[in-house]
Amino acid sequence: MRDSDESRLSAGALGAALVVVTVWGFNFTVVKLGLADVPPLFLLTLRFAFCAFPAVFFVKKPAASWGSLAAYGLLLGVGQFGLLFTALALGAPAGLSSVLLQSQAFFTALLAAALLKERIGMHSVAGMALAAAGLTLVALSGRGGSLSGMTVPLALMILGAAFFWGAANVVVRTMPGADALGLVVWSSVVSPLPLLGLSLWLEGPGPVAASLARPTPAWVGALAYLVIAASLVGYGLWNRLILRHGAGRIAPFSLLVPIVGISSAALVLGERFGPADAAATALVLAGLLVHVFGGSLAGRLSARFRRPRP
């Protein structure tokens, strides 16, 4: 059992969690700026290459098979980030993308139920219904109520990215002893070559060579941010917090990521939300809150009603 003085997060732990949330939320704006000067899949190639090397020589391999590491690396690096970065490069707004990507929580629950036979609670079903209503608003908004520029094809790409993230989360659940930072570093080994192949095929060698010949501050800075801040420092701090305080107390902080994503996109990129965008965001975030906290709240209410009266 933890000591009573550990029942609440210390100021240092709370500050570290907020630093990670801020870094991850601002990530969408940084990527959007960098993609103006470099093809998205090639930027990802460099990101995962530098995440793996030279860190792989200093970070211990996690307790997982190479098959699991490869599956995680391909689902996350090629599937999730490949679709996300491509959608951002094609015009998906950074702020709303940061919201829609959080639907990974629902895909994780559905895939875990289908593949790992985990039970889905009624609170999760209610959260999914709220989020689905928000996604429907995105699909129906068109140009009338949307100022952010999100279109249905771009939204589908973001949801596809969320699906691959959920699948990667299910793979992680089969590796209970894996260290989070080690998982990031060692799974990054398998992503660069497939991403480079896709970049040369879909984006062409010309744009790739042009970006290498003209390394602008925007895309070089974005690359440094992705590798150092978002990946190595972000996951390192996050892993330390989870190991010390438990996933149940730390994971809900991730709900703040889209708030930071929306705010930074509005301040730096000048993105605006129309009525449909705002309503969709509110519904998706409400669904996430119900999904994350609904089970514990229902359990407390049930225990209170079952408690015998004096």
Domain containing residue 68: 10-120+150-244+254-271
204 falls within a domain: yes
Structure-token pair, residue 93: 């707004």
145 falls within a domain: no
Arithmetic mean of pLDDT over the chain: 85
Residue 86 has pLDDT above 70, yes or no: yes
Residue 87 has pLDDT above 90, yes or no: yes
286 falls within a domain: no
57 falls within a domain: yes
Backbone region of residue 39 per phi and psi (left: phi > 0; alpha: psi in -120 to 50; beta: other values): beta
70 falls within a domain: yes
Render pLDDT for 164-192 as a digit per residue (tens, 0 to 9): 999 998 888 888 777 878 888 999 999 99
> What are the C-alpha distances in Å from 176 to residues 3, 27, 239, 250?
25, 27, 13, 17
Nearest to residue 160, comparing CAs of 192, 124, 135, 195? 135
Cβ atoms of 281 and 262 within 8 Å: the answer is yes
Cβ atoms of 179 and 62 within 8 Å: the answer is yes
44 falls within a domain: yes
The confidence score (pLDDT) of residue 172 equals 86
What percent of the chain is helix, strand and coil (3-state, nearest 5)?
80, 0, 20
Number of domains in the chain: 1
DSSP state of 35: T
Render pLDDT for 123-139 as a digit per residue (tens, 0 to 9): 888 888 888 888 887 76
What's the average model confidence in pLDDT over 216-220? 95
The confidence score (pLDDT) of residue 76 equals 92
42 falls within a domain: yes
Backbone region of residue 142 per phi and psi (left: phi > 0; alpha: psi in -120 to 50; beta: other values): left
The confidence score (pLDDT) of residue 203 equals 96
298 falls within a domain: no
Render pLDDT for 40-51 as a digit per residue (tens, 0 to 9): 999 999 999 999
The confidence score (pLDDT) of residue 264 equals 92
